[in-house]
Amino acid sequence: MHQELEGLLGHIGLTPYGEPAGLAGGDIAAVFRLDTDQGAVVIKRDAPDRLAGEAEGLTVLREAATRLVVPEVLGQEGEWLVMEALAPCRRAPGDEVALGEGLRELHAASGGPHGWHRDNACGATPQPNAPLADGRAFQRERRLLPLTRACHDRGLLDRRLRARLEALAEGLEAWWPDAPASLVHGDLWSGNVLYTERGPALIDPAIYRHYPEVDLAMLTLFGAPSAAFFEAYWNGAGPDDWPRREALFQLYPLLNHLLLFGAGYRGALERTLGRLTFD
């Protein structure tokens, strides 16, 4: 076992049984499960700044999303993060309602600027979070334009598609009403929602403050939440223009996937951009 990890385990009072066993799903970081004298833990190995951001995100979510399960951070030092292990199980009746109610609680506390006091990462992509008072400016300057330029520079966007994305970003104030910033998970695709005996759980956050549609649009992009989820989240009163809101906030994760995984995501990006029609 790595000496630094042994030291961290000793510092937090855990005695390991055996060696860490690799877990599937660690596309960005190396992820392990380890049995200890106080139960199983999950260990991540990654760049220290990325792990510090994740540790902070998990701690903040545990405090804010009290209706949802969030793994407890047990310790983080250098390139190692140790956290509570969750035991996934089959989705139970009522779990999607509980997820909707839990996210509604998370997003209810709003205020302050859009952004966060530190940068973090969405997958392998650095995520700039320098705060801005106007959320439309934040979406433009911290999300859409940086990734549009990065994808164009790598030859993943042609001039026409880049121009369409830039025009959309520059015109947000003309149609999107600004609103207070909520705490968001920031990378809430379906793989970052687990179902446990204690209820739905959130893992691998990339937190910041922004519009709550960030989390909802990510859930629908790579999954299909049920009508019961939306009924619970919106409490029966969803926005009339949800399809357009959904499309807007799917652009950033699609640009990120285009940047990370290549041209296979360009068609989905262009189709989503085409859904943003204006009166």
Catalytic residues: 187
Q: Rounded to an integer, what distance in angstroms lies between the CA atom of residue 212 and that of residue 65?
A: 14
Q: Rounded to an integer, what distance in angstroms lies between the CA atom of residue 172 and that of residue 248?
A: 10
3-state secondary structure 99-157: HHHHHHHHHHCECCCEECCCCEEECCEEECCCCECCHHHHHHHHHHHHHHHHHHHCCCC
Tell me, rounded to whole angstroms, the distance of Cα 60 from its chain centroid.
13
Q: Work out the angle at residue 68's Cα, subtended by the Cα atoms of residues 130 and 80, and round it to the nearest 5 degrees.
A: 60
Segment holding 64, helix H or strand E: helix 48-64
Q: Rounded to an integer, what distance in angstroms lies between the CA atom of residue 267 and that of residue 101?
A: 33
Q: Rounded to an integer, what distance in angstroms lies between the CA atom of residue 225 and that of residue 219?
A: 7
Least Cα distance to 2 among 20, 17, 15, 14 occurs for 20
Q: Are 204 and 192 in contact (CB under 8 A)?
A: yes
Least Cα distance to 23 among 14, 15, 32 occurs for 32
Q: How many CB atoms lie within 10 A of CB 150?
A: 16
Q: Rounded to an integer, what distance in angstroms lies between the CA atom of residue 102 and that of residue 93?
A: 15
